[in-house]
Structure 1
Amino acid sequence: MHRPDVSRALASFPLLDDVVALTTISLATRDLSRRVQLLTEGMSGLLGTRHEIPDGFFVPDPGRYRRHLLVDGGSAGYQVLLMTWGPGQGTDIHDHGGSWGVESVLHGALDITEYELQDEDGSCAELSVARRRRLEAGQSLGLLPPGDLHACRNASKRDVALSLHVYGEAVDQVRTFQSASHARYRVVQHNPVVA
């Protein structure tokens, strides 16, 4: 299996410099809702222009989607990840560990199902579908807890999709929700894997 050399790939990924600059500017806004809105709008503007994506990121892992850590924001605390989605690959229902974020599609499309938490008693939760949408290349979605529960899936059964994720802090522990019965889910702490 081929894994991209991230450090070499980043040298040929100028869009990332723009994303870092935009994220830094948005961090000056203390209001989290406004910050997410500014970054979501800014990302959509950035992605509306032509950008080259290093070829290595188009190689999927046959077993699951792959997370590539591009920026670990140090003292600012934010992270930027690129995710490679093989055909039909997706996530469980999950939150983002209390972090705000913006998810943007670079290539292909992602089907997003958003959920509302109806009830939770520690190890079990009741969820309802709040919205289904398809994010196409160039579109972005803002995430602000507690309204950040969703599942993502590559909309294509044949082609790779790529998405860029900016999170306000390191997302190294999330909750996933695994179906137990109709509308009831087991809550599981999960550490997402970074390639």
Structure 2
Amino acid sequence: MTTEYAVDQRAPRPAEDFPGARALIDGVSEAAALNDPDAITEAVKNRLCRLISSPEFQLPASFLEAEEDHYARRLVYRAPDDRFSIVAMTWGVGQGTPLHDHSGLWCVEGVCHGRIRIEQYSHRESRGDQDRFRLEEVVTSEVGGAGCLIPPHDHHRILNDREDDVAVTLHIYGGEMNCCNVFLPRSGDWYQRERRSLSYD
């Protein structure tokens, strides 16, 4: 299973010109003006679920192409005022993330192709650079499914557990997520915290 983040350092080119992209961007822009994270994420989730289940929404063919050694992060749109960003992630068979947070940003994640497994954790305590977590819920999400993550309840793992297909998800963040904390298993329910930079493919 591949669990490393993308480390490609090329300058990202937003991929916002595809069917349904403008409707998504306009809907998120409207929701982001609500100023309350709960209201924003609920509005974004509702818009995203409707859109990605519609035949009017068609991802670029390149989004279905997985990278061999890491899941791909592809910038779709970054708001000029940095209020939000939209990132498409492509998960090859067996690819996933370590347990991680969202660096203080709200997020809505939706499945556009395939299926993903989400493991949701609760943070129990910290000791220096180590943290204790408890697995709270495991969810399988398919096309049209979406979920909201609002700090401090944003610790989770994502995995493409299918053996025969890539998965593609859209992630809408309350800003640009260019770094986060990852938590690597140590002993029992304790994890080692590491800060990681994120980039785009």
- TM above 0.5, one fold? yes
TM (norm. structure 2) is 0.90
Separation (CA, whole Å) in 2 of partners of 1:119 and 1:96:
18
Once the two structures are superposed, the pairs formed by residues 55-70 of structure 1 within 5 Å of their partners are 55-70=61-76
User: Alpha-carbon deviation of 1:28?
Assistant: 1.8
Aligned to 1:85: 91
Aligned residue pair count: 190
2:155 corresponds to 1:149: yes
- After superposing on structure 2, the runs of 4+ consecutive aligned residues of structure 1 that deviate more than 2 Å are 6-11
Q: Distance in 2 between matches of 1:47 and 1:55?
A: 15
- d(CA) in 1 for partners of 2:127 and 2:94? 32
Deviation at 1:176, TM superposition (A): 0.3
- 5 Å-filtered alignment, 1:8-157, equals 10-11=16-17, 13-50=18-55, 51-157=57-163
Listed one character per residue, the Cα deviations across residues 103-146 of structure 1 (whole Å, up to 9, x for unaligned) are 11000011000000000123000000011001101111111000
Separation in 1 of the partners of 2:34 and 2:128?
Answer: 33
How much has 1:55 moved relative to structure 2? Answer: 1.0
> How many Å apart are 1:193 and its aligned residue?
2.6
Q: Corresponding residue for 2:7?
A: none
Question: Superposed, which structure 2 residues align to 1:151-190 within 5 Å?
Answer: 151-190=157-196
Q: Which amino acid aligns with 1:47?
A: I
Tell me the secondary structure at the aligned position of residue 174 of structure 1.
strand
Cα RMSD between the aligned structures? 1.7
Deviations 1:73-121 (A, max 9, x none): 1214311100010011000000011000101100001100000000012
Higher helix proportion: 1
Equivalent-residue separation in structure 2 for 1:130 and 1:144 (angstroms):
16
2:24, 2:127 → 1: CA distance? 38
Structure 2: how far apart are the matches of 1:8 and 1:169? 15
- Among all aligned residue pairs of Structure 1 and Structure 2, give the percentage whose two residues are the same amino acid: 26
Q: Within 2, Cα distance between the matches of 1:8 and 1:65? A: 18
How far the C-alpha of 1:7 sits from its partner, in A, is: 5.6
Q: Using the alignment, how far apart are the partners of 1:149 and 1:109 within structure 2?
A: 20
SS in 1 for 2:46: helix
Check whether the contact 1:122–1:187 (CA below 8 A) recurs between aligned residues.
no
Counterparts of 1:25 and 1:45, CA distance in 2? 16
Q: Do the aligned partners of 1:9 and 1:56 also contact (CA within 8 Å) in 2? A: no
**Gaps in structure 1 of 5+ consecutive residues:** 1-5
Task: State TM-score, norm by structure 1.
Answer: 0.92
Tell me the equivalent position of 1:3.
none
CA distance in 2, matches of 1:179, 1:8: 34
